[in-house]
Structure 1
Amino acid sequence: MDYEKQKSDTGIKVTIVEIEDGLAQETPRTRKCFQSLGRSFKRRCRSDSENGSSPWIKLLKRVLVFLSVTGVCLGIAYITHHAVLASLIRRLSPMVLPQNGLTAIVDAWVEPGTVTPAPPSWRPDFSRDIQPKPIHSHNDYWRRVPLFDSLSVGITAVEADCHLVGDEIFVGHQVQSLRRNRTFNSLYLDPLFEILENQNMGKAANDPTKNGVWDVDPSRGFILMTDLKTEGHATLNAVQKQLDRFRENGWLTYWNGTDIVPGPLLHIGTGNTPFKAILESSYSNSTYRDVFFDAPLDALSDAYNITNSYYSSTSLTKLFGSSKIPRSGLTKSQIKVVHSQIEKATNLGLVTRYWDIPAWPIETRTKIWRQLEQAQIGMLNVDAIDLAARWNWRLCNILGMNLC
């Protein structure tokens, strides 16, 4: 570069003259790269031309192959996704109840004493195609159709809170919820008697085999648990008196002094039921006892066994504390306690049951159900009978998503 500086009256004027001869001959690195690629492409084109094939045709073929493979993969992924989704919907949706006598009764049910004549409690094909399940319907009388809602989905045990008022036994959670038409007889004993009467129609009086409520498994019994809310001795005596007609027909499971003699109906006392009242019941003697105790699962001893007890139960929340049961379910140490209690009760011949299972969040409840099932719980105590009996709740949580 040459620099010329000229002085003038107004200041110094600077003129810069660039000689570009050297710059024009220099090529940047990137430009050289592109030039090299261009020369390579030209040589390839000349070579392909000499061989009689065009590079554009080959490029087009490769693009078409790529698009075809991508399209096939996307199609397979789309079909697989929708197939899995459809399968989940089928498995998690409530199953369609079989059309039988029970579903007809549930559809037509009205509260006892509100219409005359009363709707029947039994219809032909009563429990056809219903598979009985080891599930206990907690507070069954709260359902829209007590007893029959549970029977219609295969529940094998129901629980009724019993209040003795005068000479009558009313069913309800609290005193203020009792109603004249909702008695132990009207909600449970009358329909159960009609069911067993029809299920055993045609059998000789001396026939030792008795049919239960389940058409697919007539020898399987049904559990009726009475949670006594008033004074234990008097209420239990009143309950047993109302069970006289079942006793006379040989429909109650009983202890004969040596073995358990199974019947279509098994009665368990809990709540205010005194253990002493079970042992000294006026309806029992050394060779007969048809009421069984709900033994304390968290305080078992050899005093509770198959001669006097059937269930062995405790509150899960009371056992561990509601604040100590995490959302993810029972902890390893808690599961260890559950296994220990179940093993002890099983060795005594008793059926285990945990009540007061956290109901919320739903995924916590579902997880605990699964954990209890894996621990081989004897009877799953539930309030949500539709979910427990009719849905595959083991698949409710998939990839962290709660689907139920």
Structure 2
Amino acid sequence: NPKQTLTLLINVKIGGKETWPWVLKQLEPLRERGWLTFVEGDVLYRRAVTVVGTGNTRFDVLTANETYRDAFCDAPLDTINSPPPLSPPVSSPEIDDPSSLSSETISSPQSSQGENSDLGQGLSGTTPTSSFTTLNSHYASVSLHKAIGRIWHGRLSPSQLDIIRGQVRGAHRRGLKARYWDLPAWPLGLRDYVWEVLSSILYHLSSIGKPTSV
């Protein structure tokens, strides 16, 4: 199907700064055929394959070329929470600093860890002023357990649901696709329940705005 698109998620497990140039080199056959989604200047051109770097992929390395890029970041979903319209951010015991989640930028330990530190998905190579948009990111992801903590009695609590809705809203507000990993696999009833809830939230929270694309 020539209209079928593919997201190629590349999970960098070792040093992001040293590894990423080799990743870009391996993508050359796709680049030569014009199959890669890319950014030129401030315009996003969508193609058949969208490459997303996760794990230790470094934000600073991936975005170093300001004129042309054909790979995108996996933003940290838990740092881009958005409150409901006309409502203040929801305070929750699972979040250390809820006020930081409503910011357009991220709260990153980068400055205290050193510029070469690999801090994991969405944080490596960032600064406190790093901003995630459709021009540098595609997904916004987080471990569900990290985002909301433990699921008690087989059901998500109201505060946990508020956190999920806020994170999905924050991703959609930036034109990014929300993605949760580390979902429960057992018992099957809990697995199916979580899938159903997440699917419902993703369906009902429509994306706000669309990226400029060709």
TM over 0.5: yes
Q: Residue 252 of structure 1: SS of its match in structure 2? A: coil
Contact 1:309 1:350 in 2 (8 A): yes
Shift of residue 320 of structure 1?
2.1
The residue aligned with 1:135 is none
C-alpha distance in 1 between matches for 2:56 and 2:70: 18
Structure 1: runs of 5+ lacking an equivalent: 1-214, 379-404
User: Which of the numbers 54, 57, 60 marks the counterpart of 1:276?
Assistant: 60
C-alpha distance in 2 between matches for 1:377 and 1:289: 30
Structure whose residues are more often helix by fraction? 1
User: Which of the numbers 73, 87, 104 marks the counterpart of 1:293?
Assistant: 73
C-alpha distance in 2 between matches for 1:255 and 1:377: 28
The residue aligned with 1:314 is 142
Give runs of aligned pairs for residues 201-350 of structure 1, distance below 5 A: 215=1, 218-280=2-64, 284-286=65-67, 288-300=68-80, 301-302=104-105, 303-321=131-149, 324-350=150-176
Structure 2: runs of 5+ lacking an equivalent: 81-103, 106-130, 205-214
Shift of residue 318 of structure 1?
1.4
Letter in 2 for 1:320: I
Q: Deviations over 1:53-98 (max 9, x none)?
A: xxxxxxxxxxxxxxxxxxxxxxxxxxxxxxxxxxxxxxxxxxxxxx
Q: Pick 1 or 2: higher relative contact order, CA cutoff 8 A, min separation 6.
A: 2
Shift of residue 327 of structure 1?
4.4
How many pairs does the alignment contain?
156
C-alpha distance in 2 between matches for 1:244 and 1:312: 25
Contact 1:219 1:264 in 2 (8 A): yes
Q: Which has the larger radius of gyration?
A: 1
The residue aligned with 1:360 is 186
Letter in 2 for 1:350: L
C-alpha distance in 1 between matches for 2:77 and 2:51: 18
Contact 2:142 2:181 in 1 (8 A): yes
Contact 1:221 1:262 in 2 (8 A): no
Shift of residue 377 of structure 1?
6.3
Q: Residue 132 of structure 2: SS of its match in structure 1? A: coil
Shift of residue 337 of structure 1?
1.0
Q: Deviations over 1:127-185 (max 9, x none)?
A: xxxxxxxxxxxxxxxxxxxxxxxxxxxxxxxxxxxxxxxxxxxxxxxxxxxxxxxxxxx
Q: Residue 335 of structure 1: SS of its match in structure 2? A: helix
Shift of residue 328 of structure 1?
2.6
Give runs of aligned pairs for residues 173-184 of structure 1, distance below 5 A: none
C-alpha distance in 1 between matches for 2:42 and 2:63: 15
Contact 1:224 1:267 in 2 (8 A): yes
The residue aligned with 1:370 is 196
Q: Deviations over 1:104-138 (max 9, x none)?
A: xxxxxxxxxxxxxxxxxxxxxxxxxxxxxxxxxxx
C-alpha distance in 1 between matches for 2:201 and 2:163: 11
Q: Under a length normalisation based on structure 2, what TM-score does the superposition of the two structures give?
A: 0.69
Letter in 1 for 2:138: Y
C-alpha distance in 2 between matches for 1:257 and 1:221: 23
C-alpha distance in 2 between matches for 1:319 and 1:348: 19
Q: Residue 165 of structure 2: SS of its match in structure 1? A: helix
Contact 2:184 2:191 in 1 (8 A): yes
Shift of residue 237 of structure 1?
0.9
C-alpha distance in 2 between matches for 1:353 and 1:265: 18
Shift of residue 329 of structure 1?
2.9
Shift of residue 219 of structure 1?
2.5
C-alpha distance in 2 between matches for 1:320 and 1:285: 35
User: After the TM superposition, which parts of structure 1 deviate over 2 Å for at least 4 consecutive aligned residues?
Assistant: 326-329
Q: Residue 202 of structure 2: SS of its match in structure 1? A: coil
C-alpha distance in 2 between matches for 1:221 and 1:259: 19
